[in-house]
Amino acid sequence: MLFNPKPKEDPKDLFDREKEIEKLRFGINYPMTLLLGIRRSGKSSLVKVLMKEEKGIWLYLDLRKFESSAYISYKDIIQELEKSINTSLPERLKKVFAGVKGVNFVGVNVIFNWGKERIKLAQILDKLSEIAEKEGERIIIIFDESQELRKLKGVNLLYPIAYAFDNLKVRFIFTGSEIGMVYDFLKLDKPDSPLYGRAYTEVNVPPFSKETSLEFLRKGFEEFKIKVEERELEDAVNTLGGIPGWLTYYGFNYIQEKDHEKALNKTVETAISLIKKEFNNFLKGREGAKERYKTIMTVYKNGCKWKEAKIALEAKEGVRIDDKRFTQLLNNLVKASFLIKEGEIYKPTDVLIEKAFS
């Protein structure tokens, strides 16, 4: 059902995206794939459908739960891995962990120690690779919303990932809605980083075009045998843009409300409050510049050049702002995918972000 508001898992429910799935299929034959797209563009749906369609041993880690945390500990990551191993691997395969330092078994479940006798991530990856070797299967680990990993304190995940990249049969998919933050975490282009220069496949998940968005809504309503006027569909797409998540939510609301205006308003309201919540998460640890970030978003809501926004911010604060500092603030908003740069113009990544700051 297209208007199901959860990430799709059944290939039949995935609309469009043939190109993206094809690229992902190619990517998972190699060590590292990046799956990037702004919030609610459909990244989780793509990986979940892929997990259903493609043979392999899949471990899925949902890091979204850490989005409001200021930092993540080694324990958090180890526990997430433990959970996905326990849910995805049959008992028979978990046996490779027997006798490994830092591993206990409780019934059929593996328990990883994170304290003094802690297990090393490289060791877990080693053992997973051993399974892949034995089974003649690929093992694919998905870090969904991987930009959260940049908050990890006390250990550098990039070393074990680079080790696995070079030596093991483990493959990784890193998804991210804060696109620049994913690059910041992986540091693929930083010469002194463990992952420097490694080849990877990048799959981008853009919003639907206007025509595809309309087609998506028509098909979704057809499933319910509901006839909605073209004028209303146009209005929905013009208001919501091409992000599948918001189109889905509109359809879902319409089915319940049986009224275009009501469904649309509810969708916009929900989208705006979610965007605001996400913006507040972004401000965590950046409290000192909170007002400046808000002002910058408001100034850029209709799109403008670097200089115009800087002048506006200075006018509001009544002080001169250092060029470098201003650029840094602006780049952080771009990295978190609240703003996008097109030519010389910076603007909100989609129409609903624009509305959230109006």
Ligand X SMILES: Nc1ncnc2c1ncn2[C@@H]1O[C@H](COP(=O)(O)OP(=O)(O)OP(=O)(O)O)[C@@H](O)[C@H]1O
* Closer residue to ligand X in complex, CB, 27/245: 245
Q: Is 67 helix (H, G, I), strand (E, B) or coil?
A: coil
Q: How far apart are CA 133 and CA 45, in angstroms?
A: 28
Binders in 28-87 for Mg ion, by CB under 5 A: 44
CA 205 to chain centre: 10
Closest CB 23 distance from ligand X, rounded Å: 14
- Find the part of the chain contacting ligand X (CB under 6 A) among 35-43, 195-203, 283-291, 321-329: 35-43
Residues 6 or more apart whose CB falls under 8 angstroms from that of 85 comprise 59, 94, 110, 124, 128
Closest CB 47 distance from ligand X, rounded Å: 8
Residue 41 contacts ligand X per CB under 6 A: yes
Q: How far apart are CA 194 and CA 303, in angstroms?
A: 37
Q: Is 16 helix (H, G, I), strand (E, B) or coil?
A: coil
Closest CB 97 distance from ligand X, rounded Å: 30
Interface size with ligand X, residues (CB under 6 A): 23
183 interacts with, out of ligand X, Mg ion, none, CB within 5 to 8 A per kind: none
E runs forming strands in the chain: 32-36, 57-62, 103-106, 109-112, 139-144, 170-176, 201-204, 304-305, 339-342, 345-348
Q: Distance from first CA to last CA of the chain, Å, rounded?
A: 34
Q: Which residue in the set 27, 31, 40, 82 belongs to the binding site for ligand X (CB under 6 A)?
A: 40
Closest CB 41 distance from ligand X, rounded Å: 5
Closest CB 207 distance from ligand X, rounded Å: 10
Decide: residue 71, CB within 10 A, 0-12 exposed, 13-18 middle, 19+ buried. middle
Q: How far apart are CA 55 and CA 46, in angstroms?
A: 15
Closest CB 283 distance from ligand X, rounded Å: 18
- Find the part of the chain contacting ligand X (CB under 6 A) among 9-17, 70-78, 84-92, 155-163: 9-17
DSSP 64: G
Q: Which residue in the set 15, 183, 254, 338 belongs to the binding site for ligand X (CB under 6 A)?
A: 15
* Residue, CB closest to ligand X: 42
Residues 6 or more apart whose CB falls under 8 angstroms from that of 126 comprise 168
- Find the part of the chain contacting ligand X (CB under 6 A) among 75-83, 92-100, 243-251, 342-350: 243-251
Binding site for ligand X (CB under 6 A): 2, 4-8, 13-17, 37, 39-45, 177, 244-245, 248
